[in-house]
Structure formats: C-alpha cells, structure tokens
Amino acid sequence: MINQLKFLNSLKLMNIFPTHQWLEDKSEIIDTLLRFAYALDQKNWTMLRDCLADQVDADYTALRGEKRQFISADDFVAQRTKDLVNLKTQHISTNHLVSIHDNQAECTSCFLIHRLDPTRMPDGNAYDTAGHYIHGLIRTSHGWRIDRIKQTVLWSRGNPEIHGARRRH
C-alpha cells in the first residue's frame, strides 16, 4: 500500500494527472465542437458564428475538392447558409481526443454526417459521409473558438449532388 501511494504521489509531481483547469478546458472544447455540429443541423447561424474565431483555416479538400481556405468566420457561415439550403442534416461527433497547450488546443474526432434533401425523389435524396476531423481551437475572452478545421473522409454513400458545396462546382 505504501508503494502504491508513493507511485501515485510521483505521478502528481510529474503532472501526469489532469488538473481541474485541464478538465474544464477539455469539456469546454468538446462542448464548442458539439455546439458547432448542432448549429449546422439547426441552421442556427448565430450559434455557428459564436463557435468560430474571426479567421478560420478550413480544409475540406477530401470531400468537396476545394482548396484549403483561410476565410473569415462570417464568410464561412455565409457559405454554410447557402450549402445547407433545403437539406436536413445530422452531424454526429464522437471519440474526442483533446490536447491543450496554453491558449491553443487541438481535437481529433470521428464524424458521421447524414444529409437528406426532401425535395428530391427518395432514391437519390440522401448523402452520408464518415471520417475524422482535426479542429484547432484558440482560447479567447469569450471561451474556446474554432480556428482550424481539417476533414478527412473515410467513406461516403448516396448522391453527392445533394451536398451544397458540391453543387457550387
């Protein structure tokens, strides 16, 4: 028992145990990512904008074929407003792995996005995508904000033409 206590105390000294601040930051970071996904599904553009830093490094090359963009948060929201017109979506975000370094953080996660266009015939009205995200976040006076998004697609199924960004090309 004494050896176990010595071992646990040595871990504390080496800062292996997470601190209260780290746990609070991790929770806020994951909450920011979940609010981001929920805002897209609800088409709540104010909530979406509140999740973003003023500038966003957005890399959706894997799905959209677009080049990586350094874009203002307002332009990012405006693009999503157009891309999601007529679509019902469900963004599922899981397996959040968070690393925090001072006022910057990175979260790697898994995603599954369901898209349904009810204006199309049932045999071509859905498009699903699964993969990984890497989100970069910065700590601001208003909390954690997303300043970097990289999407990696593992698979897609359905009609890619219902995806708003793909219609723009």
- pLDDT, position 129: 96
- pLDDT, position 4: 60
For residue 36, being part of any structural domain is answered with yes
- pLDDT, position 66: 79
CATH of the domain at 94: 3.10.450.50
- pLDDT, position 12: 53
pLDDT tens figures, 128-143: 999 999 999 999 999 9
Residue type, 12: K
Domain limits at 148?
A: 20-167
- pLDDT, position 72: 98
Could you give the residue ranges of the DSSP H alpha helices within 14-133? 20-42, 45-50, 61-64, 73-83
For residue 65, being part of any structural domain is answered with yes
Q: How far apart are CA 76 and CA 84, in angstroms?
A: 12
- pLDDT, position 102: 95
Q: What is the pTM of this model?
A: 0.86
For residue 10, being part of any structural domain is answered with no
For residue 11, being part of any structural domain is answered with no
In b/e form, how buried is each residue of 38-64, taking b as 16+ CB within 10 angstroms? bbbbeeebeebbbbbbeebebbbebbb
Domain count, the chain: 1
Collect the ranges in the chain with pLDDT lower than 50: 14, 167-169
